[in-house]
Amino acid sequence: MAGKEKGPIWAAGTMSGTSMDGVDVAVIETDGVELCGIGPAWSVEYKDTDRAVLQRALGAWPGEAPVAAAADLVLRAHVAAMVELPEVAVVGFHGQTLAHDPTGRRTHQAGDGAALAEALGRQVVWDFRSADMGLGGQGAPLAPFYHWACARWIGAAGPVAFLNLGGVGNITWVDPAAPCPEAPGACLAFDTGPANAPIDDIMLARDLGRFDDGGALAGRGQVDGAVLQRILERPYFDARPPKSLDRDAFADLGAATQDLSDADAVATATACAAGAVARGLPHLPGRPTHILVTGGGRRNATLMAMLAEATGVPARPVEEVGLDGDALEAQAFAYLAVRVLRGLPTSAPGTTGVAAPVGGGQVSRPKGAVLV
């Protein structure tokens, strides 16, 4: 492409993560390489009845009974979340992950990008993970390329570690001096292990609420060292990255802590999330001087304190460097959508383990739309 077509454009991205909080929408300006501007971002929470629909579909694959209702809900929720969407050239639509099986080279994100394109009257890029997995990649994590762009945006002088604490934890080590995110050595990323998902599941199972607000309950509990040790001795933590996990890979933490008090059970699950990150640090090319934390876990003061203690590395919310931890994942899919339109890779050996840099994503357009 030449001329104007190579310049920056405004794009929106969406994210409905494994914590199933709701739909995040964020707008950025990018040429698919550099982050050129940051626009508005907002979130629309799922109702409890919506979460129940999604919960019933967790672990399900296309064609299985609960999937149709979940996919319909995801579509309607995203359309509603983008009613007031400003003028953008493209929407990056992640959908809702219901199942992820990297060893079987399959993944399932509910939501029809073609239907969303018609409903919004905008071109939509979606199904970001399938191409990567078809070529031997893990299909996750996909935010690392955007983390590289963010490191350059904030003017990082050297390598930076970004940690996303959503349902599952994932970490990205980026070198902003690399010429592009797919360059060898630019990014290394992998899922660290459990994060918010087991904590939330324990809270719900014990009728304590949807999540541990601020880590208050965990802060009153005592960590069961035996459970923590058993979890952190699992072979996953010794496996070399790239590697990824399904949301429910550590769902048995509920059973492992069933004989503990509420506070002790939640404290133990929280310590597992922090300990998982500590187990991951030796896999990085170098020890980071600090960790920039995004995702809902950064609001959990107990988790952040446990993280700093377990890793020996200061953990800082990304807001301290001028980024928005609620919007970062949605922004990442806006960035990736533009990369798809420009024919640029969306993953690489260092991020998903795919054999070579590969571009994923399907592009769906309403009638009359023109590719940018």
Three-state secondary structure call for residue 325: coil
Mean pLDDT throughout 338-358?
A: 96
Residue 5: its pLDDT value, please?
61
Q: What is the DSSP string of 84-98?
A: T----SEEEEEEEEE
> Which residues are CB-contacts of 300 (< 8 A; sequence separation ≥ 6)?
165, 196, 212, 214, 215, 218, 270
Beta bridge partners of 189: 172
Same domain for 284 and 345?
no
Q: Quick check: is 150 in a domain?
A: no
Give me the half-sphere count of Cα atoms (radius 13 Å) on the Cβ side of residue 168.
22
Is-cis flag, bond preceding 242, omega within 30? yes
Q: Quick: pLDDT tens for 217-262.
A: 999 999 999 999 999 999 999 999 989 888 889 999 999 999 999 9
| Cα gap 13→125, rounded to integer Å | 9
The better pLDDT of the pair 367, 217 is held by 217
The pLDDT confidence band at residue 368, using thresholds 50, 70 and 90, is low
Mean pLDDT of 275-291: 94
Dihedral sign from CA coordinates of 158, 245, 322, 86: positive
- Evaluated on CA atoms 316, 303, 150, 41, the torsion sign reads negative
Confirm if 107 and 130 have CB atoms less than 8 A apart: yes
Per the structure, the count of domains in the chain is 2
Residue 76 CA to residue 248 CA, distance in Å, equals 25
Q: How far apart are CA 229 and CA 127, in angstroms?
A: 37
Please name which of 341, 345, 314 lies closest in space to residue 125, comparing C-alpha atoms.
Answer: 341
Average pLDDT score, the chain = 94
Say yes or no: 301 and 242 in one domain.
Answer: yes
Per-residue pLDDT band at 369 (split at 50, 70, 90): low
Query: Which pLDDT value is given to residue 371?
Result: 47
Find the angle CA(74)-CA(77)-CA(79) to the nearest 5 degrees.
110
18 sits in which H/E element: none
Residues 160, 26 share a domain: no
User: For 35-87, what is each residue's pLDDT tens digit?
Assistant: 999 999 999 999 999 999 999 999 999 999 999 999 999 999 999 999 999 99
In this structure, of 6-20, 122-136, 213-227, the range with the lowest mean pLDDT score is: 6-20
Kindly report, residue by residue over 162-203, the tens digit of the pLDDT: 999 988 999 999 999 999 999 999 999 999 999 999 999 999
The reply to whether 51 and 193 lie within a common domain is no
Asked whether residue 129 falls in the same domain as residue 162, the answer is no
Collapsing DSSP states into helix, strand and coil, what is residue 44? strand
Q: Residue 324 in 3-state DSSP?
A: coil
The reply to whether 169 and 209 lie within a common domain is yes
Average pLDDT for 78-106: 93
Residues 58 and 167 placed together within one structural domain of the fold: no
Mean pLDDT of 303-320: 96
Q: Helices marked H in the chain — which ranges?
A: 48-57, 67-81, 113-120, 130-134, 144-153, 196-205, 216-219, 225-232, 253-256, 262-280, 301-311, 328-341, 349-352
Q: Is residue 289 part of a domain?
A: yes
CATH number of the structural domain spanning residue 248: 3.30.420.40
pLDDT of residue 319: 98
**Is residue 343 assigned to a domain?**
yes
pLDDT of residue 181: 98
pTM: 0.91
Band (pLDDT 50/70/90 cuts) for residue 4 is: very low
In a 13 Å sphere around the CA of 268, the CA atoms on its Cβ side amount to 27
Residue 3 pLDDT more than 50? no
Which structural domain range is residue 221 located in? 155-321
Q: 336 and 316: one domain?
A: no
147 occurs within a structural domain: no
DSSP string, 209-249: -SS-GGGHHHHTS---HHHHHHHHTSGGGTSPSS----TTT
* Residue 148 is assigned to a structural domain of this protein: no
Mean local confidence (pLDDT), 15-20: 83
Report the alpha-carbon distance of residue 50 to residue 281 in Å, rounded.
Answer: 36
Give me the phi and psi of 166, to 5 degrees please. -105, -140
Residue 149 located in a structural domain: no
Per-residue pLDDT band at 287 (split at 50, 70, 90):
confident
Euclidean distance between the first and final Cα of the chain, in Å? 10
- Reduced to 3 states (helix: H, G, I; strand: E, B; else coil), residue 134 is helix
